[in-house]
Amino acid sequence: EAGVAQSPRYKIIEKRQSVAFWCNPISGHATLYWYQQILGQGPKLLIQFQNNGVVDDSQLPKDRFSAERLKGVDSTLKIQPAKLEDSAVYLCASSTRDRFLEQFFGPGTRLTVL
Amino acid sequence: DQQVKQNSPSLSVQEGRISILNCDYTNSMFDYFLWYKKYPAEGPTFLISISSIKDKNEDGRFTVFLNKSAKHLSLHIVPSQPGDSAVYFCAPPWPGGYNKLIFGAGTRLAVHP
């Protein structure tokens, strides 16, 4: 079974630029999560999708962050414009609808904002 | 407001000895706890969990202990192996909605020969 795929693995941009991350979850997983992990901290949930609907986006900075999962499969997270404090690893995870505690994580995208 | 605290950022243990990783929490509504392990350049992977109706759960070399009155749990690894070197996160689900995991800051375990 293929795992959660993410791209790119690394991205370096300057502040005020835009950036987008892509995630393809495990086949058949209805729930998709985006986490932000700042250096020295644990992952923090940004947004959660159930199929193509948003379940929880309470910690997503909506003035600059957006995410979509149009066909209920892969997802894109965008930051526009980026700030220095957005430097972090962005992790995508997926789970089945009935076993949502066992989340399977992708390798993450390391974003550096200069 | 840190609801989940892993106060030891790092731990160094000799191969074959016991590793004990600690986690403290403040929200008495947490009733399920998960441990995730993370290797460099990889995403976290689920390791072991415990429900609040239990005080111990064992899976091979890994045992998690829960002390509800102290709001404290610990992960024991016996015997420790070099391949156990990773960052370990304590992650209870948000009470009332078992979808959002609240991760601690993690403890980096180094097991040396």
- Residue to mutate among A94, A100, A109, A110, with most B CBs inside 10 A, is A100
**Other beta carbons within 10 Å of A97:** 11
**pLDDT below 70 — which residues of chain A?**
1
Please give the pLDDT value at position A34: 97
CATH architecture of A5-96: Sandwich (2.60)
Contacts of A47 (CB under 8 A, 6+ apart): A33, A34, A54, A56, A57, A59, A60, A67, A77
Tokens of B101: 């995991």
Domain boundaries of chain B, sorted by first residue:
4-112
The domain defined by B4-112 folds into Immunoglobulin-like (2.60.40)
Whether the per-residue pLDDT at B27 is higher than 60: the answer is yes
Write the pLDDT tens digit of every residue in A15-25: 999 999 999 99
Whether the per-residue pLDDT at B79 is higher than 90: the answer is yes
Burial of A3 (0-12, 13-18, 19+ CB in 10 A): middle
Banded pLDDT at B98 (limits 50, 70, 90): low
- Taking a contact as any Cβ pair under 8 Å apart, which residues of chain B between 24 and 43 contact chain A? 32, 34, 41-43
Domain boundaries of chain A, sorted by first residue:
5-96
- Pairing relationship of beta strands A31-37 and B10-14 according to DSSP bridges: unpaired
Please give the pLDDT value at position B1: 62
Please give the pLDDT value at position A1: 67
Residues of A in contact with B91 (CB under 8 A): 42
Please give the pLDDT value at position B94: 84
